[in-house]
Chains A and B, each alone.
Chain A
Amino acid sequence: MNMHDAPREAPAATHATATGGKYLTFHLAGEEFGLPIMKVQEIIGLMPVTRVPRLPDYVRGVINLRGRIHPTVDLRLKFGLPATADTERTCIIVVEVATERGHVNMGVIVDEVAEVLDIADTEIDSTPEFGVAVSTEFILGLAVVKGNVKMLLDIERILTAKEIGELASVVSTANAGS
């Protein structure tokens, strides 16, 4: 895979837009999402997650990945989508995100990983207005590939969003949109 095709890292501060490149797509509650491949460290099957008390529900807990502890977020709960039982397809995407403490690795639990897609610039609509499950703040753009809509996520923003309130808006948008 030619890494240079991958999209540039999106700056977190301003509203980022997606550029063409390779994206890892995955399913979450029937919708298809995409993550810039450059953010993805690896994909692992579900493993025992140690719950950390007194944290929001969407923080599933921590996992041990080769001796390092990674916080792991349930993306369904983070987006305010209904929780479901884990299946054998449920997996953890380990992503690298930039925080004020530097780069950290975090796990993201999704329903199912689909594929790595090469998305062209022309296939990306950067200004989605409605009909979107996730607040536009958290998406880089919409890609329409062979008639299927994929939401390209700004995973950095999603994982570093401090306020739960911020994500509540996600839920409402999701409800309004569907």
Chain B
Amino acid sequence: MNTEPIAQLLDALAHDVMGADAGNIATIAPMLDRLAGLRTLATEQALTRLRDAAGELERITQQIIMDEGNAAEAAQTLLSESLAAIQQAMESDELAQLPGLPPAIEARLRQPDEGATFLQRFDSLLHDLWGHLRDLQQSPAEQATPRALVASLAALAEHSAVAAPAVAAACRQVATRDKTDGQALDATVLENILRWIDGQYERLAAGQDEPAMPEAAAPAIAHASLDTAPETTALPAPETLVAETDASVATPPAPPAPPAATSTTAAPGGAALTGDLDLLQDFVAESREHLELASAQLLALEAEPGHTEALNCVFRAFHTIKGISGFLQLPEIERLSHTTENLLDRVRTSAIPLTAEVLDVAFSALDMLMRMIDRVRDAMQGDGWLPIEPGLPALLSAIVAADQQAETAPAVAPRPSEPAAAAPDMGGKGDDAAETERMHAEDTDAQAAGAPGSQRSAGHGGEPRETIRVDYHRLEAMVDTIGELVIAEAAISQDPAVEAVRNGLLSKKLHNLKQVSRKLQEFGTAVRMVPIAGTFQKLARLVRDLSRKSGKTVLLHVDGEETEIDRAFVDNIGDPLIHMVRNAVDHGIEPANVRSAAGKPTSGTIHLRAFHEGGNIHVEIEDDGKGLDKAAILAKAVERGLIAEGTPLSEQETFNLIFEPGFSTAAAVTEVSGRGVGMDVVRRNIQNLRGTVHIKSTPGQGTTFRMTLPLTMALIDGMVVRVGSARFILPVLSVVESLRPTAKMLQSVMGRGELLNMRHGQLPLYRMSRLFDIPGAEQEPTRALAVVVERNGTRWALLVDELLGLQQTVVKSLGPLSDQAEGISGGAIMADGSVGLILDVPALIDIAWRAPAAGASVMPTTPPKQDPTTMVAINQHPQLESFRHEHA
């Protein structure tokens, strides 16, 4: 038996006890970790007395932290006496018996009441398991052990972890069996195991506090495998029972690296992931969902402290995470969620009021759990090493401190997302507060449907719906296949041979096929859609934190969070939105004194909107801050060498300068009106999603950013154009209008480039045939077609031979060519089965600017002078309008 780690822990503990100050939590909190570590070590080495004693000491330490001053001192004495006894026992090699514990501890080690409830619960869990066994016998599991059964096993494992480690180990092993050896649990094995647990239960009930397992058995169980089974044949160990019915025994997860080893040393450490990978994967996904929901509910709770349902929801999230993390042997996560759960439980039972501190630590706990869970995910993908969370002890102490302070502090008043310090002087902000509250109440109505475990399906009245978790890649494959079906259908119905057949019945059948495949395509698209609410919730949280940090009062209004967006967008629009919201709070909204001087309400407002319009999704961020300072932007752009001094620019062009890569530097943030951090990244991200971003700003009144995105990444509304013998697809989203140029509209610039005279100004005209070096294209523009395209509010004209039609197509990757094919964003299968190339308009413009020889056009150093554009790209192409209408 290796007692070295125990000795180390005891040394550290003795040191702690000497330095402990009952009034100072920071000196005591680390002891909790060490005692927990000691308990774990003792459990592993089957030192039951030591384990119980450590558990008891943990409780005493917790008491010191929670308790009133005088009792703490007595508890501290008890603690140091106990530790001394343990140390002595270890030196005289009597650790197993552990004599000499103070009588107070001895007494606490045997509490009959607790034993009884333990047994009752044990019994009821066991009863559940027998029930599951009956189910299993009736309908054998083919591939996976039924979830309900796994859950019951997990519950029993958790319940018996301390008092009956052998049972706990057996349960874990059985629960993960199908994952480790790929075979579902069969009923006979389970029956044997349950019989054995029954026996253990009898022993426990008879008062034998250790289920008739010699001490050496516990590690044997933990390491059990087929190889070691013969050595343990003397024991009624579960694996021998398993082995009787099935030769391939599941290898149980290795015992966890003792958390104590990491928490006693300051050096960066961690623990190897030991849980079952599939279960861990589920855990990560579920926990993230829980945490996101909890975060939203906590915000709601902050606005309306009496919101019991929100509180319960947050509590349940922590509770669930605690339960599963315990089972999966993630002690840090279990610890944090457990401590927070306790705190919230006290709020729930009205033992303490909901104070600002409680809310703060709960928010911090959510953040830290999210981080920890991300680390679990990273560890699963990486080397399986789970680093420790350095901030954990501090947060745990903060949680305990918040609990303590709450006993004397008043409850938090209903307040909007504004700094806590501002809460008492609510006088002039009553309206705002009420408004926000109403808004949050709406939020929670929508979210109430999303109880943990079920996925929200907002936008349809908030009815809870039955959902099923599907592998994303499988979904992608299905949507892809549906796309192919639609193509195949088009290929058949447009085949000349089929069209030649004059048969009413056949065309009726074909029509039917078309309808069904179109419907399927609609479903395929819908299946990828998720409400934008999740993204907005993160922003709500961000606004809260930012407004606290900056000391500005910022109210957030959210509209249209039920708007559905392509799942593929979710990960990609988050960052741009965060950038824009951050800029709005940091630089858009003025400090309260500036605002009141300007005659505005002291609290700033940010409107977050999402809606569908014209077959696209629009996301708007509107602030009522000071607006963009055009003069400052121009000055900065000149200084950065982006434009020449005195360049006449429209308002939109001026605003667009903030998206230029050279414009955004850290220095620009403070000097110019503010916006600038990474705005070029924002624009690039949006363009990658085939979207655009527009700015509207009025000095003194605020700024609006509008992102326009296509409905889905999988489909594209395209204009099919011909150039020579080649066909291309232009995304309708980039097309403004198309027209046949007349001779007087055309203007050549010194023989190098061409301009197209439009109603409001001149547009550079680029010939597609020259950009792409395509032979056989129409050389006379008056017999060709000019398509006006837009990028970030600036327009160009592309010359193509003719418009062949409008088509909704499935976007396909060009695979290894995607990086090399400039000006092409992907491919699409055309009705004739050939591949059509989808044009990447922004990249095309880049090619035209960069290569005068290919483009043979004007080479402006900046985007050329344009007619001013309005906020929304107006589509003047009647055919497009009807097309959009059709597909909206």
Contacts and interface: CB of A to CB of B under 8 A. Distances in A.
A99 to B, nearest CB: 6
Contact of B815 (A50, A64, A70): A70
A52 B816 contact: no
Given A50-B834, A67-B480, A67-B487, A104 B829 contact: no
A52 B480 contact: no
- Which of B483, B487, B834 has the most chain A CB within a 10 Å cutoff? B834
A54 B835 contact: no
A104 B835 contact: no
Contact of A50 (B813, B820, B837): B837
Contact of A62 (B487, B773, B827): B827
B813 A54 contact: no
B836 interface: yes
Interface string B800-832: 000000000000111111001111100101000
B598 interface: no
B611 interface: no
Contact of A52 (B481, B837, B847): B837
B775 to A, nearest CB: 11
B815 A71 contact: yes
A104 B480 contact: no
Interface in A22-80: 48, 50-55, 59, 61-64, 66-71
B835 A69 contact: yes
A59 B817 contact: yes
B774 interface: yes
A62 B816 contact: no
Nearest to B817: A71
A99 B827 contact: no
Nearest to A51: B726
Contacts of B834: 48, 50, 64
A119 B30 CA distance: 70
B484 A66 contact: yes
Nearest to A59: B817
A64 B823 contact: no
Contact of A67 (B484, B772, B817, B820): B484
A71 B773 CA distance: 20
Nearest to A56: B820
A106 interface: yes
Contacts of A50: 726, 827, 834-837
Contacts of A99: 816
Contact of B835 (A53, A62, A66): A62
A99 B822 CA distance: 20
A101 interface: yes
B816 A101 contact: yes
Interface residues of B, number: 29
User: Chain B contact residues: over half helix, strand or loop, or mixed?
Assistant: mixed
Interface string B831-856: 00111110000000001000000000
B204 to A, nearest CB: 54
B769 to A, nearest CB: 10
A52 B821 CA distance: 7
A101 B847 CA distance: 26
Contacts of B817: 52, 55, 59, 62, 71
Contacts of B829: 64, 67, 69
B816 A53 contact: no
B484 A63 contact: no
Given A52-B821, A53-B774, A54-B773, A64 B833 contact: yes
Contacts of B836: 50
A104 B815 contact: yes
A54 B821 contact: yes
Contacts of B823: 53-54
A59 B837 CA distance: 15
Interface string B693-737: 000000000000000000000000000000000100000000000
- Which of B481, B771, B815, B822 has the most chain A CB within a 10 Å cutoff? B815
A51 to B, nearest CB: 7
A69 B822 contact: no
- Which of B481, B487, B726 has the most chain A CB within a 10 Å cutoff? B726
A63 B833 CA distance: 9
- Which of A53, A62, A63, A70 has the most chain B CB within a 10 Å cutoff? A53
A122 B487 CA distance: 50
Nearest to A106: B816
Contact of B772 (A53, A69, A106): A53
Contacts of B484: 66-67
Nearest to B839: A53
Interface string A88-108: 000000000001010011100
B835 A64 contact: yes
A66 B481 CA distance: 10
B814 A54 contact: no
Nearest to B820: A55
Given A64-B833, A67-B484, A53 B815 contact: no
Nearest to B821: A52
A64 B812 CA distance: 10
A101 B819 CA distance: 11
A55 B815 contact: no
Given A50-B835, A67-B480, A67-B484, A62 B772 contact: no
Given A48-B834, A50-B834, A50-B836, A104 B816 contact: yes
Contacts of A55: 817, 820-821
B816 A71 contact: yes
Nearest to A105: B815
A66 B823 CA distance: 25
A23 to B, nearest CB: 24
B815 A69 contact: yes
Given A64-B834, A67-B829, 8 more contacts: A50-B726, A53-B771, A54-B822, A59-B817, A62-B814, A69-B815, A69-B835, A71-B814
8 contacts: A50-B726, A53-B823, A54-B821, A62-B817, A64-B835, A67-B483, A69-B815, A69-B835
Interface of B: 480-481, 483-484, 487, 726, 771-774, 812-817, 820-824, 827, 829, 833-837, 847
Lowest 3 CB-CB distances: which A-B pairs, in order?
A: A53-B772, A67-B484, A50-B835
